Amino acid sequence: MLTAKGEESDKVAGLDAGADDYVTKPFSPRELIARVNALLRRYEVQADNKSSTVGALTLDPASHRVHAFLDTPKVQEILLGPTEFRLLEFLMGHPERVHSRTSLLDHVWGNDSYIEERTVDVHIKRLRSALALVACENMIETVRGSGYRLSKSAPQS
């Protein structure tokens, strides 16, 4: 927030309203640029190309592929759309944690998306359908009243 109001109550109100930073006039252009760069660094996507494995699933962000390593000698590739891939990538980065729909929207779709929370349910359903082809659909658990969790082992239904 860039404003002429410099009172403490104005600053608190601005930050409580959702501003990431509060700069009052007069200001230095160099300081403003430094603050914007600091804010951008906080939201910068980490370019981590290391593959991750949770249970029978291995996700490789560099090749944009997901494989299932089951009891069979053959490794099975799971074909996912871009949103389902990002959703699985986030869940695999934080296994065994419950994520609300709002949290998933922020992390997978981004802070600036204006879509309904129920959109997450649609993509979870699509992800489960793709994982069903390799019998891993139960790894994504619905936590009633809270959200979704990726379990390291598929619970038996």
In this structure, what token pair is assigned to residue 70?
A: 């089951």
Burial class, 148, CB count within 10 angstroms (exposed 0-12 / middle 13-18 / buried 19+): buried
Cα 104 to Cα 53, 84, 87, distances in angstroms: 20, 12, 8
Question: Using 50, 70 and 90 to split pLDDT, how confident is the model at 90?
Answer: very high
Supply the pLDDT for residue 126. Answer: 95
- Range 82-101 average pLDDT: 93
What is residue 38's predicted lDDT score, i.e. its pLDDT?
81
Q: What is the CATH number of domain 52-150?
A: 1.10.10.10
Question: Could you tell me the residue ranges of all domains in the chain?
Answer: 2-43, 52-150
Helix spans in 1-157 (H): 8-16, 29-43, 82-93, 101-104, 118-132
Split at pLDDT 50, 70, 90, the class of 86 is very high
Q: pTM above 0.85?
A: no
How far is it, in rounded angstroms, from Cα 135 to Cα 138? 8
